[in-house]
Chains A and B, each alone.
Chain A
């Protein structure tokens, strides 16, 4: 059981800065995120795209912003639980008992949901029958590539993941790469490599094709693919891989009894607490009159929510407002030596 003052759900910029604000006022926290790294949408959706509206930062990329925030919270030694999704929530007297997808348990005084638009999950094939093969012959990510050795693999997608895996797996497997158009979104060098492999017969490239259906009993045997113009091809496949990026899903948060409207959680604007005492929501996931889905708004919301947590974490103490420029306590927490 991990005992800490506050559990932050979501390691995007809002969650990271909120951790800083908690640290400054002397509260401990741990952060859970479903992705394998911190940064949220900034890292997953636009690591290389510039952002121009972070106050006092004229221009930075999603990755730079994330790295700077991680540097800013370094003094607090915050524990991250990545690749984890928060599943269960139970009230336990004045505290909350939280359990994640991997069974990690937390005992916390308050919870701050900074979950963006939900947790990132792989996008799946639209074809219904794919569900029954998922995890045995259809995969959306690869954990153990050795199972593909000497097998026939059909890969769908046109981005870097699809191209990289097509190239890599073509060494030891028979690979079909299927994509809905002639253009690819992956890097040019990989596109060229795939075309070369196709010409050399080391890989079969099918463009302007999409999945039509899958055939098989326990495991997949064949995939039917359909051309833009209607032609259908049947290709033998032992495994099917789909790389269509990630989509955001609210997931178990929906079942916690929070007031939810259009995939967002309603909060008050005094401290960003939800309809449930001790549960706060900040960043893109919260809604209130006038809400702007900007990173800078998430920072403001996090600063207030952190202070809102204080009375739950330290009910017998009074929080005094202080500036980091002059507060000895805050500077000590930041590890500043004078």
Chain B
């Protein structure tokens, strides 16, 4: 298990234990944390699981695979710390990760 903290747009903070091997997207969906739509189900095909990663975590995350940046072009208000949460697989290294969920997914 790793602790992942999701800051939702209504200024609520949700800290949940997510099983290793699941994605940060699945952690949100399974715990009913609002704001992550994940329309395509984790296929890097829709950009509706977009999150902003807390700055100090940016360099600790696995690098973006081909296609993630292309999908982020489609996301709602992408920034330099934008990631698709379906591409972030939870591991010991991600224990304590904090992400902000944008106001909309599209």
Binding site for B on A (CB under 8 A): 41, 45-46, 117-118, 123, 126, 157-159, 179-181, 183, 185, 210, 228, 244-245, 247-248, 262-263, 284, 293
Contacts and interface: CB of A to CB of B under 8 A. Distances in A.
B27 to A, nearest CB: 15
A157 B106 contact: no
Interface stretch (B9-17, B33-41, B51-59, B88-96): B33-41
A179 B40 contact: no
Contacts of B69: 181, 183, 185
21 contacts: A41-B45, A45-B46, A46-B45, A117-B39, A117-B40, A123-B76, A126-B76, A157-B73, A158-B70, A159-B74, A180-B78, A181-B69, A181-B73, A185-B69, A185-B73, A228-B80, A244-B73, A244-B74, A247-B46, A248-B39, A263-B37
A248 B76 CA distance: 14
Contacts of A117: 39-40, 46
Nearest to A118: B39
B60 to A, nearest CB: 22
Interface of A is mostly: loop
A298 to B, nearest CB: 12
Contacts of A46: 43, 45
A27 to B, nearest CB: 30
Contacts of B46: 45, 117, 247-248
A41 B40 CA distance: 9
Given A180-B78, A248-B46, A45 B40 contact: yes
Interface residues of B, number: 21
Contacts of B77: 126, 210
A45 B43 CA distance: 10
Given A180-B73, A185-B69, A185-B70, 17 more contacts: A45-B40, A117-B40, A118-B39, A123-B74, A123-B76, A126-B77, A158-B73, A159-B74, A181-B69, A181-B73, A210-B77, A244-B74, A245-B47, A245-B74, A247-B48, A247-B105, A284-B41
Contacts of A263: 37, 39
A244 B80 CA distance: 17
Q: Which residue, A179, A181, A183, A263, has most C-beta atoms of chain B within 10 A?
A: A181
Nearest to B46: A45
A248 B80 CA distance: 25
Nearest to A211: B77
A264 to B, nearest CB: 11
A248 B74 CA distance: 13
Contacts of B74: 123, 159, 244-245
Interface string B59-79: 000000000011001101110
Contacts of A185: 69-70, 73
Q: Which residue, A45, A157, A293, has most C-beta atoms of chain B within 10 A?
A: A45
A316 B7 CA distance: 57
Contacts of A293: 41
Contacts of A284: 41
B70 A159 contact: yes
